[in-house]
Structure 1
Amino acid sequence: MIASNEYVIGVDYGSDSVRTIVADAHNGNEIASSVYYYPRWKEQLYCNAAINQFRQHPLDYVEGLEETIKQCLTQAGAAVAANIKAISVDTTGSTPVAVDKTGSPLALLPGFENNPNAMFVLWKDHTSVEEAAEINAHAGKFDTNYLQFVGGIYSSEWFWAKLLHVLRKDEQVRGSIYSFVEHCDWIPFLLTGGNDVAQMKRGVCAAGHKILWAKEWGGLPPNEWFASLDPLLDGFTSRLFKETYTSDQAAGTISKEWASRLGLPETVVIGVGAMDAHMGAVGGQIEPYYLSKVMGTSTCDMLVAPADEVEGKLVAGICGQVNGSIIPGMIGMEAGQSAFGDAYAWFKKVLTWPLQNILSKSSIVSLDVVKQLVEETADKIIPELSRQAEQLSIEDVGELAVDWFNGRRTPDANQLMTGAVIGMDLGTDAPKIFRAIVEATCFGAKAIVERFVEQGIPVKGLIGMGGVARKSPFIMQMMADVMNMPIRIHKSEQTCALGAAMFAATAAGIFNKVEDAMNAMGQGFDAEYHPNPEKVSFYRKRYEQYKQLGKFIEQHTNGGKKDEVLEPEQLAMDSEQLVMAVNSEK
């Protein structure tokens, strides 16, 4: 029996905020929690959505780390603080940053404070689409396929494309960078007082899924592979890493400085970091062959399988399959959608445009009242759209959408792809468009499951986690209907932070393996959605239409290539054929 006076801290860095919990290592009960919204990010400093540039300042991360842990310890009390055994961290990814030889992000150095290229390049930053395309073309020139464990396609959301883009675009950064570091590796390095980037313990999670590390070729691809891609990368691998570590291992112990800043014992173990969805899958009690879906701004879909059962199987078009990236000893497979909650947020932003741009200039009501009205309306838009969309009958469904509003992550990454809504007429209203967008996100999820199954990896069921999963029964019921399989919703509202806490407990030696921590600390499930047989066949037909529309978009936007001119006559003819095909299924 584990002593009840052992506690661990799980820190979860999301796109908008950092969330920290203190958990009882005996049963996983949440003792305290705190959320910190990044102030610079909230103002969208250093970002430019028009060119898909999304950067985050390291001070947002550092300040959030200190603030949330201190708040949690204040809530929990001195007795709990004195018995904190370990801290583990998860972050978004791939979210890398340029650092100097000491491992300090350049944005923390004089002269770089306001340089976006010296900051963390957030996962959703797509400024490096050209570099990703070059990497994909380059990979075909070698006998060894160095993309085989990342689905065969490299994404602009990932490490090497972002590094190459930054090196090409910024001479100042190019002259000062020593190495490039993932967010999930940097925070443990910070907490342990690291001052030599060569000593940083890099997690296999980010290394295998985003940085092309694989034991099959002894680490990273050879220098020749990168140098022949672009001379700017010549010699860069020597400043990165050769070894990787699973997240059940310790990165070290907390530094004296950080122990003092946080009010923690100097014996606190700091675990090896990982990406949020990977630890979230563990917090959500993942099971072999069950697809664990972390549903937030985007989705990250995780699946684990015993290594001996999937040996020799490579799933094309996903975000990688890496031994030990989720649960040590199992193959961790990752897929996902670049926009999920973000698609709904986009539509909400469209609908609130007049409130933000016209009502704010009203001479009838005060600014304080305007602010209250805008906030109240914005908070109620998605729930009300969901309520009215749920009331629509199948006969009312005409609008059809594709969910690539932020590009396509999987299957087959292409961040140049765009979303679409067709089938609109003068009877189309906001609930109908919203329903089409929800349906599209569910179809995008189905495409991922279809790819796994087609390539020999069974999917036995779904596990839902995250804000969308817990807050929207309408979306989750449609997900079950579209997938034609049940989806269980995990009870914890902080599965990523809880997963980090489980890894912390394992790194501290409280558990022998993370599965034991998961069994002891898991909070279980509090909802389950089952497919409605009457709607399954309807959505099966609609899914075929979705695929037709997606194929049309891919063909006639040339994958987003702007240097190719489309023939108007052919476009019109194909558009007419698409509409006829869609209408024939009604």
Structure 2
Amino acid sequence: LWKDHTALKEAEEITTLASGWEPNYVKYEGGAYSAEWFWAKILHILREDAGVLRAAHSWVEHCDWIPALLTGNTNPATLKRSRCAAGHKAMWHEEFGGLPSEEFLQRLDPLLSGLRERLFRDTFTSDIPAGRITPEWADKLGLPYDVIVGVGAFDAHMGAVGAGIKPYYLSKVMGTSTCDMLVVSEEDMGDKLVRGICGQVDGSIIPGLIGLEAGQAAFGDIYNWFKQVLEWPLINILKSSELIDDKAKYALIQESSKQIIAALNKEAAKIPIDESGIVALDWMNGRRTPDANEALKGAITGLTLGSDAPRIFKALVEATAFGSKLINDRFIEEGLRIDGMIALGGVAKKSPFVMQVVADVLNVPIEVSSSEQACALGSAMMAAVASGIYETTAEAQQKMGGGVETEYLPIPDNVKKYEILYKKYLRLADYMETDLTVH
């Protein structure tokens, strides 16, 4: 759902209006609103679908709806809303008295008139019980009737908890996209406002700490896109071949599809860093952070007649690593620090080549969480705190965490080479954004 960027116009309108408003409602959202978030999607739907406009009474985040369903409290006026979702995506903040004002929303679009009072004022961190499971759901799931259901949160944020996030250790969920998260004490955070990220929210990850979120709109999706490009002739030409039967065609396509990424990883790892001359840009799905701009496009430059699939793939991997460095650099530029990194998700588990490139580009040791389901584990940790089994999130992490599976250390010679290549990436990024972006 977040990946749909059709609400880009609405996001731009929100950013423009909020930036000149007092208070500035996007100041805790990195200074810009995104097409991936709550208000932009609501407004876009209301403008585009008259049926929804007539029928809709309120709007509920998915992570709020599931606990509501499990506890039987599905009234939008009374169900408990997630601090994580509200703070990062709905411009909720205690300083504002909750959500943006009615005046602001009416100025944005009269279609939003009256909606604020049908939403919520209070939000809750995930160590708070949402309620007890209903008998109906307890029976369906085979659970006791006294099970406590905690307040929801976004999957990535709970993944950070499950992977063992702690202050100044960046937790990076690495899958189709990435979500990069830090937790910092209120004292250390002070009055810092980090530009260009997806928000800084009290308790969005660990209660009592400020949770900061950033991320890339495409990571593993870029590798999968390239895989699909390579698969096109295999799938489309082989289908019409009369040389083999349909069963053999299917088996061949399936076998090749499973091996493409692994084969590319293996061959790309053999290519010297500065050999190919190819530089790519990872904005195939726009740029989430730093400085959200979903209208941006990706690029692959420096191609020659000798540029083969492994070399192009290596450049794409390097581009995703450089995109990660943009995020790390922004946190550091804004007065925070990164003492280490904890990685989780499919890419972190499956691709040593990608992980080594990222470690070399970032020049930071990267620990990979041992958990196969860190998001589910983090949810269980928070539920254990909500149920009173553990007093704090840190205690739940210590008792329930699985530790580190492996660690990737930067290779000094590679770090130096990537510093040079990163400068080329920055020049390409600047050119694409300033000269080639169609507004």
TM-score by length of 2: 0.99
Tell me if 1:200 matches 2:79: yes
| In 2: Cα distance, 1:395 partner to 1:294 partner | 28
CA distance in 1, matches of 2:140, 2:412: 57
Q: Distance in 1 between matches of 2:235 and 2:45?
A: 34
Q: Distance between the aligned counterparts of 1:285 and 1:166, measured in 2?
A: 37
Q: How many residues align?
A: 439
8 Å contact kept, 2:11–2:33: yes
Q: Which residue of 2 aligns with 1:229?
A: 108
2:215 & 2:288 partners in 1: Cα distance? Answer: 6
Aligned to 2:334: 455
Amino acid at match of 2:45: V
Query: In the alignment, is the contact (CA less than 8 A) between 2:198 and 2:289 conserved in 1?
Result: yes
Question: In the alignment, is residue 406 of structure 1 matched against residue 285 of structure 2?
Answer: yes
Output aligned runs, 1:526-545, within 5 Å. Answer: 526-545=405-424
Question: What residue in structure 2 maps to residue 439 of structure 1?
Answer: 318
Please identify which structure carries the higher strand content: 1
| Match for residue 51 of structure 2 among 149, 172, 176 | 172
- The SS at the match of 1:358 is helix
Identity across the alignment (%) = 54
Letter of the 2:282 counterpart? D
CA distance in 2, matches of 1:269, 1:427: 60
Mapped contact 1:139–1:146 kept (Cα < 8 A): yes
Contact 2:274 2:417 in 1 (8 A): no
SS of the residue aligned with 1:554? helix
Alpha-carbon offset, residue 194 of structure 1: 2.3
Q: Quick one: which of 371, 374, 379 aligns to 2:253?
A: 374
User: Post-superposition shift, 1:221?
Assistant: 1.1
Q: Paired residue for 2:183?
A: 304
Q: Which deviations, in whole Å up to 9, do the C-alpha atoms of 1:390-410 show, x marking residues without a partner? A: 100134221100001111000
Contact 1:193 1:257 in 2 (8 A): no
Q: Which residue in 2 is equivalent to 1:488?
A: 367
How far residue 517 of structure 1 moved from its aligned partner, in angstroms, is: 0.4
SS at match of 2:123: coil
Find the counterpart in structure 2 of residue 139 from structure 1: 18
User: Which whole-Å CA distance do the structure 2 matches of 1:467 and 1:294 have between them?
Assistant: 9
Runs of 4+ in 1 over 3 A off after TM superposition: none
Alpha-carbon RMSD across the aligned residues, in angstroms, is 0.9
Question: After the TM superposition, which residues 30-429 of structure 1 pair with which residues of structure 2 at under 5 Å, given as runs?
Answer: 122-429=1-308
CA distance in 1, matches of 2:126, 2:364: 31
Unaligned ranges ≥5, structure 2: none
Question: CA offsets per residue over residues 283-326 of structure 1, 9 Å max, x none?
Answer: 00011101100001100001001111111011000000001000
Query: 1:462, CA displacement in angstroms?
Result: 1.1
1:188 is aligned with what amino acid?
P
Q: Specify the SS of the correspondent of 1:180.
A: coil
- SS state at 1:352 partner: helix
Q: Aligned equivalents of 2:141 and 2:271: distance in 1? A: 52
Mapped pair 1:505 → 2:389: no
Distance in structure 1 (CA, Å) of the matches to 2:300 and 2:423: 15
CA contact (8 A) 1:156 1:162 kept: yes
SS for the counterpart of 1:396 is coil
Q: Secondary structure at the match of 2:388?
A: coil
Give, in angstroms, the shift of residue 557 of structure 1. 2.8
- Within 1, Cα distance between the matches of 2:402 and 2:383? 17
Output one character per residue of 1:59-89: Cα deviation in whole Å (capped at 9) or x when no partner: xxxxxxxxxxxxxxxxxxxxxxxxxxxxxxx
The residue identity in structure 1 corresponding to 2:223 is Y
Query: Cα deviations across residues 471-506 of structure 1 (Å, max 9, x unaligned)?
Result: 100001011110111111111111111101111111
Give the Cα separation in 2 of the matches to 1:173 and 1:379: 41
Corresponding residue number in structure 1 for 2:399: 520
Other structure's SS at 2:191 match: coil
Q: 1:390 to 1:510 in 2, by over 3 A?
A: same
| Partner residue in 2 for 1:36 | none
Give 1:472's match in structure 2, choosing from 327, 346, 351.
351
**Residues in 2 aligned to 1:156 and 1:381: alpha-carbon distance in whole angstroms:** 33
CA distance in structure 1 between the partners assigned to 2:430 and 2:357 by the alignment? 23
Secondary structure in structure 2 of the residue aligned to 1:194: coil
Shift of residue 193, structure 1, vs aligned partner: 1.5
Q: CA deviation at 1:195?
A: 3.6
1:522-581 C-alpha deviation (Å, 9 max, x unpaired): 1000211111111111111111111110111111233x41xxxxxxxxxxxxxxxxxxxx
**Amino acid in structure 1 at the alignment position of 2:256:** T
Structure 1 Cα separation of the partners of residues 24 and 130 of structure 2 = 31
CA distance in structure 1 between the aligned counterparts of 2:214 and 2:37, rounded to whole angstroms: 13
Partner Cα separation in structure 2 for residue 203 and residue 403 of structure 1: 31
Q: State the Cα deviation string for residues 91-121 of structure 1 (Å, max 9, x = none).
A: xxxxxxxxxxxxxxxxxxxxxxxxxxxxxxx
Q: Is the 8 A contact 2:7 2:44 kept in 1?
A: yes
Residue 200 (structure 1) shift: 1.1
Aligned amino acid, residue 56 of structure 2: I
2-structure distance, mates of 1:358, 1:223: 57
